[in-house]
Chain A
Amino acid sequence: RKEVEQDPGPFNVPEGATVAFNCTYSNSASQSFFWYRQDCRKEPKLLMSVYSSGNEDGRFTAQLNRASQYISLLIRDSKLSDSATYLCVVSRSSNDYKLSFGAGTTVTVRA
């Protein structure tokens, strides 16, 4: 089983729609969680960290469910510029500094 799994999509949504997707992780000792955005094989860039209580950054909301070992990302009022691949990233544990990346979920927002 992969350490981090994501639905590859693609999620094709109209502008203004809400889109949400999850990422599951296998290591229950995982400590830190992130969503990164990657455009067309360019370098990934941090979208947001995911905190235990959930957090919001503008139109983006991230949630963490430790019991079921998944994190989620919700995008409200989608813009054309939100079209990208969203990478789920998990750090292994407090004394293991490796990072595990999901293969990414592709979102395409259409006019």
Chain B
Amino acid sequence: EAQVTQNPRYLITVTGKKLTVTCSQNMNHEYMSWYRQDPGLGLRQIYYSMNVEVTDKGDVPEGYKVSRKEKRNFPLILESPSPNQTSLYFCASSWGTSETDTQYFGPGTRLTVL
């Protein structure tokens, strides 16, 4: 089954404790991205990757890191989480961003930073 998986689905942590949210896709997609969703603000792109070892900043990259060492995986790293990073996070993958490219989203990770 074609899918994007994220782990963990729910996480409560404390300020400053490094964490990683994993994202994996089995569709051999080249494009992967991370979003955060906050009430009233919609989804905002954090980072995206066009291919292995190619990453770029989205609209809200501060406080986040990513890596793309393999095509299927695109982990999101919070080196020192802060309460303003409490949010719902989605990973997505696709072939690209043209009008024929569907973004496939993972189920989301609900993060709370205390």
- A contact residues vs B (CB 8 Å cutoff): 4, 8, 31-34, 36, 41-46, 49-51, 87, 89, 91, 97-104
Q: A34-B99, A49-B99, A87-B43 are in contact. List 19 more A-B contacts (CB 8 A).
A: A32-B97, A32-B99, A32-B101, A41-B37, A41-B88, A42-B107, A43-B106, A44-B103, A46-B102, A46-B103, A49-B100, A97-B48, A97-B50, A97-B96, A98-B45, A98-B97, A99-B45, A99-B103, A103-B40
Cβ < 8 Å to A, chain B residues 1-54 = 31, 33, 35, 37, 40-45, 48, 50
Q: How many A-B residue pairs have CB under 8 A?
A: 68
- B contact residues vs A (CB 8 Å cutoff): 31, 33, 35, 37, 40-45, 48, 50, 56, 58-59, 88, 90, 96-103, 105-108
Least Cβ–Cβ distance between B68 and chain A, in angstroms: 13
* Cα-based distance from A41 to B110 in the complex (angstroms): 10
